[in-house]
Amino acid sequence: MVICKTVDSLREYLTSLGSSPNIGFIPTMGALHDGHASLMRAAKSQGQFTVVSIFVNPTQFNDPSDFAKYPKTLPEDILLLERTGVDVLFLPDVSEMYPEGTQLSEHYDLGYLETILEGKYRPGHFQGVCQVVERLLKLVAPKKLYLGQKDYQQCMVLRKMISLKQLPVELVIVPTRREIDGLAMSSRNMRLNEAQRKGAIALFQALEEVKHNILEKTNASFSSITSAAQHVLESKGFIVDYVSVAQAPDLQLVDHWDGKVPLVVLVAAFSGEVRLIDNELINLP
Ligand code: PAF
């Protein structure tokens, strides 16, 4: 695997591949786990020359302590990338990604998508995500961008950014990888202590409960179903930002279902200082 630490060295290396290589790109913030590896495997199985970036992007953290405590496991990350057969690792530092400083140079018109769920609870977060991913996409020029479904709203936001900027890249969304007990794999899981890790399964159980109730209790409003799930999580010590149901294609929050459009149930909650998110799709019965 080739490791490039500067924009110039990456550009030079990718240029040496010749015209229009089939690059599959996976942007990450490191602390890699099998969820990330599943994105890399998807790219490789689709015959892509696989480029991964590791960059903990300061402009997407609305909480400075979350940024400071973001897990860093570079030696293990490099082993995982080598084992998975990744071709290039791009490992820039902040001055490489933001030579003119980290202030936002433009505003992305994300509309409704930025006013709900993560957008509401993490103001500015998606502007930072768009800023860094646009830069990375322009640099790497991949044919395909691989993102994990765990960050469902991020996938929708980046789809919108790609369309706003008319970037010639196809977005591939890869299903969430889960631990054996159902917890969605996430770099932030590394920050949970033993008791919190055991308890974190409650998020997945809440999603399953909401999904079950939506499919079974056809007359109940979604708000009554999600409130019940929120109370269960709170009784287990979580501070809940939201348990919500939305239409999967456009994230419009809904309280009833016409049974036609696929839905997505989304949750965000703190276990101690660690904020976890997860979601599950509900397809037509
Ligand atoms: O999902 C992430 O890890 C980050 O938001 C991303 C897409 C790498 C941008 O920094």
| Mean pLDDT for back-to-back runs of 10 residues, the chain (285 residues) | 98 93 97 98 96 98 93 98 98 97 94 98 97 98 98 98 98 98 98 98 98 89 97 98 97 92 97 98 83
What's the CATH class of domain 187-278?
alpha beta
Q: How many CB atoms lie within 10 A of CB 123?
A: 12
Residue 272 CA to ligand 1 center (angstroms) comes to 23
Identical fold at 2-174 and 187-278? Answer: no
- Site to probe by mutation for ligand 1, drawn from 29, 36, 90, 278 as the one with most ligand atoms within 8 Å of Cβ, is 29
Contact between 199 and 225 under an 8 Å Cβ cutoff? The reply is no
| Of 74, 83, 99, 100, the residue nearest 40 (C-alpha) | 83
Domain ranges of the chain: 2-174, 187-278
Query: Who lines ligand 1 at CB under 6 A?
Result: 27-29, 57, 60, 129, 132-133, 151, 154
What is the CATH architecture assignment of 2-174?
3-Layer(aba) Sandwich (3.40)
Going by alpha carbons, the residue nearest to atom 8 of ligand 1 is 28
Is residue 231 annotated as a catalytic residue, yes or no? no
Contact between 86 and 39 under an 8 Å Cβ cutoff? The reply is no
- Kindly report the pTM of this predicted structure: 0.97
| Of 147, 132, 172, 141, the residue nearest 13 (C-alpha) | 141
**pLDDT on residue 247:** 97
Which H helix or E strand runs over 171?
A: strand 170-174
Site of tokens 């998508």: 113
Question: DSSP 3-state helix, strand, coil percentages of the chain (rounded to 5)?
Answer: 45, 20, 35
**pLDDT on residue 221:** 93
